[in-house]
Amino acid sequence: MPELPEVEITRLGLKSLINYKVSEVVIRNSSLRWPVDRSLHKILIGRKLISLKRRGKYILAEFPNGTLIIHLGMSGHLCIVSKDREIMKHDHVDIVFDNVSHKIVRYNDPRRFGCILWTEKNPLKHKLLDNLGPEPLSSDFDVDYFFQKLRKKTASIKNTIMNSHVVVGVGNIYASEALFHAKIRPQREAHKVSMTEANNLVLAIKETIKNAILKGGSSINNFFDVNGKNGYFQNEHQVYGRKDKPCILCKNPIQQIILGQRSSFYCKKCQQ
DNA sequence: CTGTTCTCCTGTGGGC
DNA sequence: TGCCCACAGGAGAACA
């Protein structure tokens, strides 16, 4: 479910909890991708949430004694709920703030590919985050950097932009979308992409992600923000999920192929 | 090192 | 209606 825009919207939605103290942690099911520390309540109770940052698709919740590293995986959601909210299936973890009944952060994740990890060190040096590529919206992600990376890659351009060591935050939906905007076929070998095309792709990735954040994220299979509000970006997908439907630009049917086990969509006329 | 495949898990939708 | 199968937004691990 969540690509970078959805994670960013989730992070922004949680900011209302900054400066509140944790009063309770409930772990109903600790078996996420990696086990949730069962002593998290001892670590967190009485600690004030200092900041909420993001690196790639990881949300970093900073406390005085360390940081929670949260990833939503494929199907994770964070919601702010009140005490009387009924417990749903797959509501695995609650973090209650300030003993206020309406300030509970609830983690729900049917597939349990997400994670909630505690670190007392610099989270950016955590092994999951240490070798990540640049943020797509930062100035570090520019054509000079990107083209140098592409020259060394024989993998497909789509797999390359989805590689978090090249650039973070480009998931399966936005990879297809960005390649459509840059008019590059997803299966092209990365090192055969020209400087001009690389430049177009950098701009397309930035635009696609920026636009999706503005629109509140994609709501495919019910993404919703921390207050339960839907995003609208799914209404703007040009190729993703549009197999056999007419291309927005030339009316030719959109193709679907599998690259790296993932569905990829493109227009064979507009993308070369 | 690189690129590819496998893996975790549940839910959903299509075909029969 | 139920059953079975394919597939789903991530990404580290294992492997060649």
pLDDT band at A232 (very low <50, low <70, confident <90, very high): very low
pLDDT band at A220 (very low <50, low <70, confident <90, very high): very low
Active site residue A62: no
| Nucleotide nearest the Cα atom of A1 (by C1') | C9
Per-residue pLDDT for A226 more than 70? no
Burial of A125 (0-12, 13-18, 19+ CB in 10 A): exposed
pLDDT, one tens digit per residue, over A125-176 is 999 999 999 999 999 999 999 999 999 999 999 999 999 999 999 999 999 9
Q: In the prediction, which pLDDT does A52 show?
A: 97
pLDDT band at A222 (very low <50, low <70, confident <90, very high): very low
Mean pLDDT taken over chain A: 92
pLDDT, one tens digit per residue, over A50-109 is 999 999 999 999 999 999 999 999 999 999 999 899 999 999 999 999 866 678 999 999
Least Cα distance to A175 among A149, A142, A212 occurs for A212
pLDDT, one tens digit per residue, over A92-133 is 999 999 866 678 999 999 999 999 999 999 999 999 999 999
Active site residue A134: no
Q: In the prediction, which pLDDT does A5 show?
A: 83
CB of A150 under 7 A from strand B? no
**A146, A64 in Cβ contact below 8 A?**
no
Q: In the prediction, which pLDDT does A217 show?
A: 56
Q: Which of residues 242-271 of A touch strand C (CB under 7 A)?
A: 261-263
Least Cα distance to A264 among A172, A167, A153, A131 occurs for A172
Per-residue pLDDT for A270 more than 60? yes
CB of A220 under 7 A from strand C? yes
Active site residue A33: no
CB of A153 under 7 A from strand B? yes
pLDDT band at A212 (very low <50, low <70, confident <90, very high): confident
At A52 the three-state DSSP class reads strand
CB of A112 under 7 A from strand C? no
pLDDT band at A14 (very low <50, low <70, confident <90, very high): very high
What domains are there in chain A, each with its CATH number? 4-125 (3.20.190.10), 143-266 (1.10.8.50)
The separation, in Å, between residue A84 CA and nucleotide C8 C1' comes to 32
Question: Which chain C positions come under 7 Å from a protein C-beta?
Answer: 7-12
Q: In the prediction, which pLDDT does A2 show?
A: 75
Which residue is nearest to the C1' sugar atom of B12, using CA? A221
CB of A31 under 7 A from strand C? no
